[in-house]
Structure formats: C-alpha cells, structure tokens
Amino acid sequence: GAVVSQHPSWVICKSGTSVKIECRSLDFQATTMFWYRQFPKQSLMLMATSNEGSKATYEQGVEKDKFLINHASLTLSTLTVTSAHPEDSSFYICSARGAGGSLGSGNTIYFGEGSWLTVV
Amino acid sequence: GDSVTQMEGPVTLSEEAFLTINCTYTATGYPSLFWYVQYPGEGLQLLLKATKADDKGSNKGFEATYRKETTSFHLEKGSVQVSDSAVYFCALSGRSTLTFGKGTMLLVSP
C-alpha cells in the first residue's frame, strides 16, 4: 500500500486563486520532504526540499513567494501555489524520506501519487 | 554534481520480448540506486533499488545490478507484458536528494 499520500489527486482552479496540495507520510516520520514538478515529456524537476520545523530550501529559479512550502509536522508537508496562473498547470509530486524504521529507512524515498493542477 | 543518464525512448517491444533500459550515473561517494516506474495517469512508484556495489534489486520480474566499475544500473526483464507499458526513471540518492534521469517510455504491443 501507499506510504506517502498526496491530496488532491487533481484540482482545477481559476486564475488568480491559491491552491494547497498536501503530502502525508503514512507509517513513518518524514524528516525530509521534497516537492517536484513534472513538465510534459520531461523529467521531474526538484522545486524545494523541506525539513520538519525549518524553512524550505528552494532550487534556483523557483519562486519561494509563489510556491509556499510548509513542513509543520513529521508527517505532513503542504505546497501552496499562490495566485495561480495557467503556466502553473502541471503535475506536482511530493516525496518523503524517513528518519528510520522498517519503511522510512534513511536512504529510501517514497513518492506520493501526484497532483494534477489545471489553472483556467 | 550528481547526474543520471538513461537511454532515450520510446522503447517499443512486442509482448514477451527481452527488455534492457540502460542507465549510467555520475556521483561522489557511494549512492543508492533506484528504478521508479510511472504508469499512465499515476504517480511514481518505486520499482527496485540497490544500496551498494554488486547488489541486485528485483521486483515484478525486473532486475538491475549495481555496477560500480561501470557506474551503471541497467534495468532488465526477460519477458515484457503489455501492462509494463510505462515510463521508467533511473535515479540515485546521494547525500541530499534524489537525482533522476529523464525517463524512458516503454511501449509493449500484444
């Protein structure tokens, strides 16, 4: 079964509104969570890395004020796309790396199911 | 920095054919290596992994061996099925995050 749950699976929003995507680790504590964006026919692009209780580290070229990431607990990280525009339409995927244990072994990263965002 | 190179697709095979998707990497230290699969309309799933040299990861008939001497982690399957049609990503886990290859689409026809 899934060890990382992402919600919603798909969302359609109007241009100018904000959308929140949740990423939850199940059965393990995720000390680090990652957010990726996937453009059509391209590989995943890492957007940011978040550690529980601290500010996210954004990759070059990613607007931190537009893509707000919060990692408030060891099992939940959220990505908020603020003032969304059609060019933000994409597939967003989160992943989580655990602190240890049978599932979240430090060197294995599990992915959420992904969220399709369409901005109209 | 770390990098992963995998063969470009699409790879088109008939059912029951042998599959190889090449993957080579560049990394410092001793990374762990992974193959992820993305079925149409779904997110990524971990297919198999290897954490040290000469380890062989296997799952669902797929195999890959961690070859440090050739810095490779080629994915193989002896007999593919139509249901194996998907995009396959090779990845390595270094000190911080995960580095992906660009993905290889596999199309299997009946």
No. of H helices and E strands in chain A?
Answer: 0, 11
Residue A105 pLDDT: 45
Decide if A43 and B36 are in contact by the 8 Å CB cutoff.
no
For residue range B19-74, what is the model confidence (pLDDT) as tens digits?
999 999 998 888 889 999 988 766 678 899 898 899 999 999 999 999 999 999 99
Residue B12 burial (CB count, 10 A)? 12
Quick one: average pLDDT of B86-94? 87
Residue B82 pLDDT: 96
pLDDT at B76 over 70: yes
Confidence band (pLDDT; 50, 70, 90) for A65? very high
pLDDT at B78 over 60: yes
Report the Cα–Cα distance between both ends of chain A, in Å, rounded: 33
For residue range A24-47, what is the model confidence (pLDDT) as tens digits?
998 888 888 889 998 765 667 889
Do the Cβ atoms of B21 and B75 come closer than 8 Å? yes
Nearest to A43 among B34, B51, B100 (CB): B100
pLDDT at B97 over 70: no
Q: Does A44 touch chain B (CB under 8 A)?
A: yes
For residue range A68-117, what is the model confidence (pLDDT) as tens digits?
999 888 899 999 999 999 999 998 999 887 665 443 344 566 788 889 89
* CA distance to partner chain A, nearest, from residue B29 (Å): 14
Q: Does B62 touch chain A (CB under 8 A)?
A: no
Q: Does A111 touch chain B (CB under 8 A)?
A: yes
A31 vs A60, residue with greater confidence = A60
Residue B100 pLDDT: 83
Compute the radius of gyration of chain B from its Cα atoms.
13
